[in-house]
Amino acid sequence: MKTIIINASPRKSWNTAQLLREARKGAESVGAETEYVDLYDLNFTGCRSCLACKRKGGKHPGCAWKDDLSPLIDRILAADALIIGTPIYYGEPTAQLRALMERLVFCVAPYEPGSYFDGKVDVGLIYTMNAPQAYYETSLRPYLDNIERLFTMALHGEVRTYASCDTLQVKDYSQYDMAYFDEAAKRAHRDEQFPTDLAECLKMGEELSGWSRS
Ligand SMILES: Cc1cc2nc3c(=O)[nH]c(=O)nc-3n(C[C@H](O)[C@H](O)[C@H](O)COP(=O)(O)O)c2cc1C
């Protein structure tokens, strides 16, 4: 049982990373082998539209572009579970995650019925954002549901989503031009809600790497 965990935040120890570390703990607690990747450490771009992945007689499934992402895509396709965490930037996953999605989703799909990928990878998506839960549910979730659909289509597994809302973005708001935020309210929310978010991500790691399937 192999679970790959990808931090698609440029920050290696903030909200997204903390939740992912719990997911990793959860996966390891049920015996999964894990690999943790800080996506921003890799050198890659989005899809270059070389179309090598759709060449008749080519290597399928996989991305032929020679950079740091292609071997990670191979490892994702060989894994049992994939857990990705991303901050929301302007209503979307980060640019690096979007680039990964372009490459991963495109390289398993011919422009005709069927898939080059005959395996199954279960996916957990963890979003972190400034937006409060209600805004996430009404305005962001409908768009982000489309990302769930893409992963289901590409990797054929179960896809689960967890959103950690109204996150603390900096240690000391007084040092930044961030008057839109009420620091006391942010801190109170963090103290009250973030422990639950951590516990939910731990559970996601456990369940997606479920002992019953190992
Ligand atoms: C470039 C940028 C754009 C952002 N855009 C949004 C946004 O559209 N909606 C939102 O709720 N939060 C937005 N945020 C806030 C982050 O999503 C939030 O602070 C997140 O928890 C950061 O994750 P991290 O602590 O793991 O880096 C943005 C942050 C940055 C740096």
Q: Where are the domains of the chain?
A: 2-213
Place 213 in a pLDDT band, splitting at 50, 70 and 90: low
What is the structure's pLDDT at 210? 84
Pick the CATH number of 2-213 from 3.20.20.70, 3.40.50.1000, 3.40.50.1220, 3.40.50.360: 3.40.50.360
141-155 vs 95-107: helix crossing angle, rounded to 10: 40
**Atom of ligand 1 minimally distant from the CA of 130:** 11
Cβ neighbours of residue 90 under 8 Å, at least 6 residues apart?
none
Q: Which of 9, 21, 89, 162 for a ligand 1 pocket mutation test, highest count of atoms within 8 Å of Cβ?
A: 89
Cβ neighbours of residue 56 under 8 Å, at least 6 residues apart?
none
What is the structure's pLDDT at 212? 52
**Atom of ligand 1 minimally distant from the CA of 10:** 27
Give the model confidence (pLDDT) of 94-139 as tens digits. 999 999 999 999 999 999 999 999 999 999 999 999 999 999 999 9
Among 81, 87, 85, 65, CA closest to 3? 81
Among 126, 127, 130, 128, CA closest to 185? 130
pTM value is 0.97
Tell me whether strands 33-38 and 2-7 are parallel, antiparallel or unpaired.
parallel
